[in-house]
Structure 1
Amino acid sequence: MDYIDYYKILDLKKDATTEDIKKAYRKLARRHHPDLNPNNDEANKKFQQVNEANEVLSDPEKRKKYDKYGKDWQHADQLDAQQQRQYQSQGRGYGGNSYSGGFGGDDFSDFFSSMFGGGGRSSRNSPFKGQDYNADLQLNLLDAYTSHKQTLTVNGKQVRITIPAGVENGQKIKLPGYGAPGVNNGPPGDLYIKFSITDNPKFKRKGNDIYIQEEIDLYIAVLGGEKIIDTLNGKVKLKVPEGTQPDATLRLKGKGFPVYKKENHFGDLYIKWLVKLPTGLNAEQKELFEKLSKL
């Protein structure tokens, strides 16, 4: 796998502070966000690189490993263990001398080869799993309501995926084998997709339930009647009982959001009635209300 310079992606120096990284990420993520660059594959690719760089450099432990091992940072624990075994072997075979220098990137394999006459080849040729990729995918509520296919550009490659109905905001799914190629015939890494569900002005989602507000006029509230409302899967005609109070709530079972990966399972739809009072009454209408108030 080619070396990716995360510092260069964020336009930072290696001594950048945590605050520097945060500011650079916000600036570049905003500039290359897919919403601001529709149908721009290059901007989408850059946005994903910026996210990947921020994920590594904003995490002190990951950054430490990256600074030490470069593109092989995800295998830092295995490489540290291999180095330790080599140091111990060196101590037994060379009168207890030890190596205390620092190295990073691909230098560790050259060091083993030069120090042990090729003895480091086993570690250099050991298979390692490829790097995992992370991507953010923004959906609107109606997109998340139905299963559908989307094509993503991940590290310059087109990946076609099926998004199951019912994904939640912030949810992550794993696509095994869609990450970077493995090292030395190791398995490929995985792709992790994080979903961001935008708010809907009408439908409010809480878990698998949906909440809406619907206006009815005073006469329907008092006398009863019918009201046609929009749901996520079409229009429904409802009966409004006479004497309906303001803020009364009606529950429609099974008319909410689909349950993730549970076919034919849905949450409920809750409707709050907002009673709209008449305004601009003429003299005759006011007189009628006055008569009603006395009855």
Structure 2
Amino acid sequence: MEYKDYYRTLSVSKTATAGDIKKAFRKLARKYHPDVNPSDPSAERRFKEVNEAHEVIGNPDTRQKYDELGANWKHYERAQAAGQNPFGGRGRSMSEEDIHQVFGGDPFSDFFQNFFGGDGRQSRPSPNRRAESAQNLEHELTITLEQAFLGVTQRLSIRDGGNSRSIDVRIPAGVSDGSRVRVAGKGARSGDHRKHQDLYLRIKLAPHALFTRKGRDLYLNRDVTLSTALLGGTIDVTTLSGETIQLKIPSTTQPGQVFRIKEHGMPSLQKRTRRGNLYVTADVQLPSKLNTKEKELAEQFAALLTKRSPTKQ
């Protein structure tokens, strides 16, 4: 079992005031909150660590006990294994409900459970806790790119104790492939049958016929005629939202040239008004064959190009 430096976890000194600890906790909790980082397992882990650290050093009583551990924590661990309370009394049981509601299961480390998780003789989650957390459900849900763009309410059929029930779940706008959406209280019943556990939806995006997504940006190929590429003009671009935008194509546009349309990509999961960009790649269309007149004109054009100085081509 590894010693947990809770001061280091919250980036505060051992002499930090209660106000300093609270301020640091709030800052880090916002940074690593699962709603802000829905598909980042490392952020989920850090969020748990930050909450655990605050549970201990954010409370004067448990902070004093933690400070007493210091370098002697191995001695206290042996006392715990012998069934003794190294702090000389019944320790205060930490509230796990908030973190449990976010993640399900046991949110705290072995170190926390061993020293701060009850009366000093329960170093692992109780069988009831294990039975309860085991009822959290995970379900893969495939949605379209348009649904990820707008957000969608889906009706799902959930198996619960051999029975099926239908629930409506809201998928927020901006979710990405692999996002994990938590639906509180919509899983199976807990081991004691008193409440429903959580449902976790793993989002899978179906491939789109036209658009490709990278982060919040969207990518689209659009045909551009040879005359428009040479002389310039405009083309109509239909965005994922269905809006039609006229994109200006400058003269001598090259095949594969990319144009950016600002803020017409995917919405941010955290702030819907913040949008990515749409990148349009020019797919210059060459004629499959030329008639006699077209071939003559092409030859004349080629002759003109060869007469130009290299610096002007």
Q: TM-score range by the shorter chain?
A: 0.5 to 0.7
In the superposition, relative to structure 1, how do residues 274 and 185 fare at CA in structure 2: closer, same or farther (>3 Å)? Answer: closer
SS of residue in 2 equivalent to 1:129: helix
Q: What is the CA distance between 1:172 and its match in structure 2?
A: 0.9
SS of residue in 2 equivalent to 1:232: coil
In the superposition, relative to structure 1, how do residues 284 and 177 fare at CA in structure 2: closer, same or farther (>3 Å)? Answer: same
- How much is the aligned-residue C-alpha RMSD, in angstroms? 2.6
- Cα distance in 2 for partners of 1:180, 1:213 equals 45
Aligned residue for 2:235?
227
In the superposition, relative to structure 1, how do residues 133 and 289 fare at CA in structure 2: closer, same or farther (>3 Å)? Answer: same
Aligned residue for 1:236?
245
Aligned residue for 1:210?
218
Aligned residue for 1:160?
168
Matched ranges for 1:86-165 at <5 A: 129=132, 131-155=135-159, 156-165=164-173
Q: What is the CA distance between 1:188 and its match in structure 2?
A: 3.1
Q: What is the CA distance between 1:187 and its match in structure 2?
A: 4.7
Aligned residue for 2:295?
286
In the superposition, relative to structure 1, how do residues 185 and 143 fare at CA in structure 2: closer, same or farther (>3 Å)? Answer: closer
Give the alignment's TM-score, normalised by structure 2.
0.52
Report if aligned partners of 1:217, 1:278 keep a CA contact under 8 Å in 2: no
Report if aligned partners of 1:140, 1:198 keep a CA contact under 8 Å in 2: yes
- Cα distance in 1 for partners of 2:183, 2:150 equals 19
Aligned residue for 1:256?
265
Aligned residue for 1:36?
none
Stretches of structure 2 lacking an aligned partner (at least 5 in a row): 1-82, 84-125, 305-313
SS of residue in 2 equivalent to 1:178: coil
SS of residue in 2 equivalent to 1:222: helix
- Cα distance in 1 for partners of 2:227, 2:129 equals 78
In the superposition, relative to structure 1, how do residues 127 and 194 fare at CA in structure 2: closer, same or farther (>3 Å)? Answer: closer
Provide the aligned length of Structure 1 versus Structure 2: 177
Aligned residue for 2:184?
176
For 1:257, give the aligned amino acid: M
Q: Structure 1: which 4+ aligned runs deviate by more than 4 Å? A: 123-128
Give the alignment's TM-score, normalised by structure 1.
0.55
Q: What is the CA distance between 1:269 and its match in structure 2?
A: 0.5
Report if aligned partners of 1:127, 1:184 keep a CA contact under 8 Å in 2: no
Stretches of structure 1 lacking an aligned partner (at least 5 in a row): 1-87, 89-122
- Cα distance in 2 for partners of 1:200, 1:274 equals 18
Aligned residue for 2:278?
269
For 1:266, give the aligned amino acid: R
Q: What is the CA distance between 1:259 and its match in structure 2?
A: 1.2
State, as a whole percentage, how many aligned pairs show the same letter: 33
- Cα distance in 2 for partners of 1:288, 1:126 equals 81
Report if aligned partners of 2:171, 2:181 keep a CA contact under 8 Å in 1: no
SS of residue in 2 equivalent to 1:257: coil
